[in-house]
């Protein structure tokens, strides 16, 4: 089976580097699936889970915003902050979501509002990742 080289990096560390037969991620224009031999593509990366399949083995990572570069033989995720999905704390995510919602209600300026909306999207994506992981277990 042909594979594609996958690397997921954030500015402070390397999250994952290895081979995959299929990769799923959330691009800025929707969910995308990347198979080996994909046409060159450059797109934004939305907060959400990135799944790397290698045969029967599947790994899930959480990425907040960033970029995806795809070449036929490699795919690179440049994440702003990426962390391993297993290490996440759901309570923490919900707390940050509540905080974001609270911030949204007492919006004071345009800037605060957009910041809060971004925080909310990120928190929602985190919870989605964790729930997906739970289901797989």
Partner 1 sequence: MANTKEVRKQIASIKSTQKITSAMEMVAASKIKKTQNEMQLGRPYSEKIKEVISHIANSSSEYSHPFYEHRETKKACFLVVSSDKGLCGGLNINLFKQVISKSAELNAQGIESNFALIGLKAASFFKSVGGDVVANVQKLGDKPDPDALIGVTKTVLDLHRNGEIDQVYLCGNGFVNTMTQEPKVEQLIPLPAEEKDELTATHWDYIYEPEAQDLLEGLMTRYIESLIYHAVIENSACEQAAKMLAMKNATENAGDLIKELELLYNNVRQAAITQELSEIVGGAAAV
Q: Tell me which residues touch partner 1 (CB under 8 A).
A: 7, 9-14, 17, 27-29, 39-44, 66-67, 69, 71, 76, 78
Q: Which is nearer to partner 1, 5 or 107 (CB)?
A: 5
Q: Which is nearer to partner 1, 46 or 130 (CB)?
A: 46
Q: Which is nearer to partner 1, 54 or 71 (CB)?
A: 71
Half-sphere exposure at residue 130, Cβ-oriented, CA atoms within 13 angstroms? 15
Minimal distance, residue 134 CB to partner 1, in Å: 29
Contacts of 126 (CB under 8 A, 6+ apart): 47, 62, 88, 90, 93, 96
């Amino acid at each position: 089976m042909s594979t594609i080289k996958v690397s997921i990096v954030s500015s402070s560390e390397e999250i994952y580097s290895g081979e995959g037969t299929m990769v799923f991620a959330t691009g800025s224009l929707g969910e995308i699936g990347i198979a080996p031999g994909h046409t060159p593509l450059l797109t934004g990366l939305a907060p959400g889970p990135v799944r790397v399949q290698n045969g029967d083995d599947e790994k899930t990572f959480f990425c907040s915003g960033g970029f995806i570069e795809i070449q036929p033989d490699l795919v690179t995720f440049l994440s702003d902050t990426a962390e391993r999905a297993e290490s996440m704390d759901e309570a923490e995510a919900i707390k940050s979501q509540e905080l974001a919602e609270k911030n949204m209600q007492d919006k004071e300026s345009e800037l605060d509002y957009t910041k809060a909306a971004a925080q909310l999207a990120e928190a929602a994506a985190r919870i989605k990742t964790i729930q997906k992981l739970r289901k797989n277990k």
